[in-house]
Copies of this chain bind each other. A is one copy, B any other.
Amino acid sequence: MLGTELEDFLALQHSVLEDISGEALPLLDAVRNLARGGKRLRGLLAYWGWRGAGGAALHPEAVKAGAALELFQSAALIHDDIIDRSDTRRGGPSVHRIFSMAHAESDWHLDGSHFGSSAGILAGDLCLSFSEEMFSAVGPRAAHGTEARRIFNRMRTEVMAGQYLDILEEVAGPGHDPEHAVVRALNILRYKAAKYTTEHPLTLGGALAGARPEFLAGYSRFSLPLGEAFQLRDDVLGVFGDPQTTGKPAGDDLREGKRTVLIAYALSRGSEDAREEITARLGDPELDDDGVDRLRGILRDTGALEATEELISRHTEAAFSALAALPLDDVPRAALDALAHSAVKRSA
């Protein structure tokens, strides 16, 4: 359903772009290619949030809201990959890389890497606009003044602010009181990732179906810790994951200099030497396998990995116990239970 909705929408956009110029179509192809992939966790959470609050099965409003969330996620990924200088996404080249590769293959002029980033900025902008176009098509239940629209607006602002705090931490982090590194990293994780990945989609679906505030608060008690566990797992996989299953080179998050909760624990618990080594190596794009192994060793020896795993367990337990307390019918309960399991117990 969600896939069909996205395909139909993007086919319509194809004809809009074709009217302007056939040469503009690669911009749409890049968006379409990305939007076709992924786990669609957000779209599914919105749908089951809707069903759990009594919304009818396969209802177009819930499907459109989920499709809008997936388009927003694609837009965020396109821009994130420029910001993080990630050349790969879902096992293939990232959007900006597709354009810099086209530049190289066509033997075009000027700076191909800048052309790639510029086209990536525009592809992300287009996808962000598509997300909104899709969300407004949900209709009156998502119109100005509704709780669903309020959640959608809040989500976008929080993700962008959270992402800014994240890049600020990368550049300002090392000299910026290490004893509060964990608190800052947890705040970034909450706004940039946790609320956005799980809480906003689930409550948005519920709000669309007309759920009352107490019901939505129950959704938050389940989905916020779930999102936190999900992102912490992501952070662990970014350093310790198997490239075969994650689709990203080993230790890529270390080369990108991501200042995750895992790193923050090591900074706040490590010796002066460990801290200096982290500061020196983290974000070095040339970091080799030995460097990755050294940092992994520090993350283990300082207890940072263990502390992160403990936090994942704690949040996971909180999420499942809140899910058990939700007044849900059997079908949505089973679906949310399966989604929650896939979010926290994964290797990719």
Residues of B within 8 A of A75 (CB): 125
Residues A153 and B128 in contact in the complex (CB < 8 Å), given A144-B139, A162-B20: no
- Kindly identify which residue among B117, B136, B156 contacts A143, using a CB–CB cutoff of 8 Å: B136
CA separation between A335 and B164, bound complex, in Å?
Answer: 41
Q: Would you call A121 and B82 a contact (CB within 8 A)?
A: yes
Kindly state whether residue A324 has any CB partner on chain B within 8 Å. Answer: no
Interface of A is mostly: helix
User: Copies of this chain, how many?
Assistant: 2
Stretch in contact with the other chain, from A42-50, A165-173, A198-206, A230-238: A165-173
Q: Would you call A172 and B106 a contact (CB within 8 A)?
A: yes
- Kindly identify which residue among B16, B83, B110, B136 contacts A121, using a CB–CB cutoff of 8 Å: B83
- Contact flags A137-149 to B (C-beta < 8 A → 1, else 0): 1111001100001
Kindly state whether residue A178 has any CB partner on chain B within 8 Å. Answer: no
Q: Would you call B129 and A156 a contact (CB within 8 A)?
A: yes
Kindly state whether residue A315 has any CB partner on chain B within 8 Å. Answer: no
Residues A110 and B171 in contact in the complex (CB < 8 Å), given A149-B136, A161-B21: yes
Q: Would you call B143 and A109 a contact (CB within 8 A)?
A: no
Closest chain B residue to A163, Cβ basis: B122
Residues of B within 8 A of A165 (CB): 20-21, 23-24
Kindly state whether residue A1 has any CB partner on chain B within 8 Å. Answer: no
- Kindly identify which residue among B143, B160, B187 contacts A140, using a CB–CB cutoff of 8 Å: B143
- A positions within 8 Å CB-CB of B: 13, 16-17, 20-21, 23-24, 27, 75, 79, 82-83, 85, 103, 106, 108-110, 112, 114-115, 117-119, 121-122, 124-126, 128-129, 132-133, 136-140, 143-144, 149, 153-154, 156-158, 160-165, 167-168, 170-175, 187, 191, 257, 283
